[in-house]
Each structure stands twice: as structure tokens, then as C-alpha cells.
Amino acid sequence: MKLSCPPTRIGGLYNFVKGLYDEITFKAPFDINDKGSTKINIEEEVTFWVNKDGEVQDINYSAENENEGLTKIIYDYIEKNKTNWFSGRINDEKLTTKINIPIRINMMF
């Protein structure tokens, strides 16, 4: 069944995702090679549920065992922003709904 209103956050999902990407790119501990540069290629996914009360629960990052520093940044950001959500709806009925956010970052510096 299709949602008549998908879950979103006050300020919009776009701003939430942009903030998450900013946290990752500015704070993540990436390894620097002996030439002083690094290449970052992340293709993962973050999922969580927004309950009927508009709160985030059951956060999952698909690569949480691969980079502890990055995982902590992602979880901390979502925990810090876990309120002020609107749950998904079908007609006027609030539902607990899942959000999938692809994390795709390709950088070289």
C-alpha cells in the first residue's frame, strides 16, 4: 500500500541528508596514504524507522563493522536529530515507517 504522506523531518528530508553528508565529509577519520592523499569510496545505506510519535528508532548502518569512526559519526548525527519527525501516513492514519538513506561519497584529496 502506498503512503499518502511519506515520513519527513521538520526542515525537510533534503536538509537532514545534507547535514548528514556534511558531518561525514568534515568529521570522518579517513586514512591518509604516504603521499598525503586519500581516496574515499563509500556506497552504503543507513536505515531507520520513524514511529507514530515522530521519533527515530532502530538505526542501522550497513557497514557499521568496517569503520568505527564513520559509524559513530552517522549514529551520533541521527541520535542528535531523532526528534521533530513526521511519521508516514496512509490517509489520516499515522504509521511507523522506514527511511532508507543511501550514503554515496566518492572523493579524492
In tens, the pLDDT along 4-54 reads 999 999 999 999 999 999 998 888 766 666 676 777 778 899 999 999 999
What residues contact 90, with CB distance under 8 A and at least 6 apart?
Answer: 1, 2, 3, 4
> What is the reported pTM?
0.82
In tens, the pLDDT along 89-107 reads 999 899 999 999 998 887 7
What residues contact 20, with CB distance under 8 A and at least 6 apart?
Answer: 46, 74, 77, 78, 101, 103
Residue spans of the domains in the chain: they are 6-28+38-105
